[in-house]
Amino acid sequence: MSQRDYFSACSSQYAAFRPRYPAALFQWLASATSAHERVWDCACGSGQASVDLAGHFREIHATDLSVEQIAHAQAHPGVHYRVGTAEESGLPDASVDLVTVAQALHWFDLDRFYREATRVARPGALLAVWCYGICDLPAAAGNAQLQHFYSEVVGPYWTPERHLVETGYRTLEMPQPELPAQDFVMRLDWTLEQLLGYVSSWSATARYTKERGENPVPLLRSALQPHWGKATTKRPVEWPLHMRVARLNPS
């Protein structure tokens, strides 16, 4: 696997509609980490995890290979954004207490990334990676139509790496020792337009649009509208979130 940029073309949708992670996740990371000085948030996108990490750690170095993603990142005084790859962080040796990767590990050259994470990690620092798959709606809001769109309409346009997300990263090798980690659930109340904005940020949606010359999201709008109700109606949207954690440079 090697890191690729599938998200510059939809960076504004990514920044606006990608869900934020639950506060309990960052509280857990803070409790599991012995020091709270510096974090490398690798493949940070537009800062969905970076800003919340800054509530628990003094300094966040957030990198992403996409210039557009960094340009759309949420500003925060404790977060320092920089364009960079997973294999070349630009950080000094033994300089971070925690390395995080949110919804991006499946794009990496794992061997090279793990070497870089180990290089920048202080003794005993943690590597925490997490991902979430397709969301669920209540059945009455059109969950069957959403799942059909995910698997059948844009399904052929997911890259093979998507399987790693769908299995919760359980099949990926991790540095050792690996530690017990907690899974979480993300829950939001969204309008139909918010859900469609999120779907527009999918890499498969972007690939469908590029290869076929048409945006598939209006198809989903037509399928969901009869189930959703008024434009202002908010429906619960839920994603299971899976985490894996390893200790780097154990003493």
Residue 18 lies in a domain: yes
Give residue 92's region: left, alpha or beta (phi > 0; psi -120 to 50).
beta
Q: What is the pTM of this model?
A: 0.90
Residue 70 lies in a domain: yes
Neighbouring residues of 32: CB distance < 8 A, sequence distance ≥ 6: 126, 128, 179, 245
Number of separate domains in the chain: 1
Question: Can you tell me the distance from the alpha carbon of 157 to that of 211, in angstroms, rounded to the nearest whole number?
Answer: 9
Q: What CATH code is carried by the domain that includes residue 100?
A: 3.40.50.150
Residue 2 lies in a domain: no
Per the structure, the complete domain to which residue 25 belongs is given by 8-134+160-187+238-247
Q: What is the pLDDT along the chain (251 residues), one digit of tens a residue?
A: 334 555 555 556 655 667 889 999 999 999 999 999 999 999 999 999 999 999 999 999 999 999 988 999 999 999 999 999 999 999 999 999 999 999 999 999 999 999 999 999 999 999 999 999 999 999 999 999 999 999 999 999 999 999 999 999 999 999 999 999 999 999 999 999 999 999 999 989 999 999 999 999 999 999 999 999 998 999 999 999 999 999 999 97
The type of residue at 131 is C
Going by C-alpha positions, the residue among 197, 191, 190 that lies closest to residue 215 is: 197
